[in-house]
Amino acid sequence: MPIALVTGASRGIGRGIAVSLGGLGWKIAVNYAGNQAAADECVALVRAAGGDAMPIQGDISLAADRDRLIKATVAWGGRLDLLVNNAGIAPTVRADLLEAGEESFDRLIAVNLKGPFFLTQLAARQMTAQAPDASGSRGQVVIVSSISAYTASTNRGDYCVAKAGLGMVTKLFAARLADSGIRVYEIRPGVIATDMTGTVKAKYDALIADGLTPIRRWGLPEDIGRAVAAVARGDLPFSTGEVLNVDGGFHLHTL
């Protein structure tokens, strides 16, 4: 059974990814920060979908936790076929750019940018030491960024800066790891129905009804899960450093 570590898999998009991979018969290390009950629910859903799963607590902003996450995953599965850097947080308070404080900035960068950067570094070390499979692949990495990687929201600049940084993290590791048979992809979700967007539901309901996205609906965690499943199946063998927009067409410029 191939094995993936999915960060922030207890809820929302990460859960959707874990369940989609479970449907492919994968083993999933279901990482979470503090919500063990939600992680246990996700484990049950992955198993019901046909895969296997184990919950594993860890804060991706902490070096010791990142190290433990990779070691525990490899101890369980014997290798690491896919790392999905999904865990992320929104600012606690949306503050205008002229008022935004350093505390929120430091936390957003630590969780949303530093965590994925150094977790990918650890995964890359593990994958480069692994034997390649029949297709020559030693493993793959997915980085979940956001439409905020290129869309300026002046009331959450820290989030946008962190997500823009992930675009370069994708490019850097894709370029560095191609010769080792490791491909790296960035997925940019649009507006997805999860706890993170629960507080702004009415606002986005109205925007979507008014045509914010050519495909007029909320995205679902399983929309992202299906994109990650395509990567996991190896369906993009001649692409790396690629951006997959899973956003209902939000990124299109229309006139």
Tell me which of 96, 103, 195, 205 binds ligand NAP, using CB under 6 A.
Answer: 195
Using CB under 6 A as the binding rule, whether residue 10 contacts ligand NAP is answered as yes
Instruction: Choose the binding region for ligand NAP from 118-126, 195-203, 208-216, 227-235 (rule: CB under 6 A).
Output: 195-203
182 binds ligand NAP (CB under 6 A): no
Q: Which of 31, 126, 130, 240 binds ligand NAP (CB under 6 A)?
A: 31
For residue 83, the cross-strand partners are 5, 141
Count, residues in the chain: 255
From candidates 7, 120, 140, 170, binder to ligand NAP by CB under 6 A: 7
Of 5-13, 17-25, 44-52, 124-132, which segment contacts ligand NAP by CB under 6 A? Answer: 5-13
Does 14 sit near ligand NAP (CB under 6 A)? yes
55 lies in the binding site for ligand NAP (CB under 6 A) = no
* CA atoms of 43 and 64, how far apart (whole Å): 24
Residue number, 41 or 242, with CB nearest to ligand NAP: 41
Exposed, middle or buried by CB within 10 Å (0-12, 13-18, 19+), for 237?
Answer: exposed
Contact criterion met (CB below 8 Å) for 51 and 24: yes
Shortest Cβ 57–ligand NAP spacing (Å): 8
**Could you say whether residue 66 binds ligand NAP (CB under 6 A)?**
no
Residues 6+ apart with CB under 8 A from 98: none
- Torsion from C-alpha of 164, 165, 167, 169, nearest 10 degrees: -170
- Determine, following the binding rule CB under 6 A, whether residue 126 of this chain makes contact with ligand NAP: no
Among 120, 130, 194, 240, binds ligand NAP (CB under 6 A): 194
The answer to whether residue 185 is catalytic is no
- 140-179 residues in contact with ligand NAP (CB under 6 A) are 144, 146
| SS3 category, 254 | coil
Q: How far, CA to CA in Å, does 176 sit from each of 99, 181, 239, 241?
A: 38, 10, 14, 10
CB 181 within 8 A of CB 124: no
CA distance to 71, 90, 129, 177, per residue, from 194 (Å)? 29, 12, 36, 32
* In the complex, minimum distance from the CB of residue 29 to ligand NAP, in angstroms, rounded to a whole number: 12
User: Considering the rule CB under 6 A, would residue 243 count as an interface residue with ligand NAP?
Assistant: no
* Catalytic positions, written as ranges: 159
Question: Which chain residues interact with ligand NAP by CB under 6 A?
Answer: 7-14, 31-35, 38, 59-61, 86-89, 111, 144, 146, 189, 191-192, 194-197
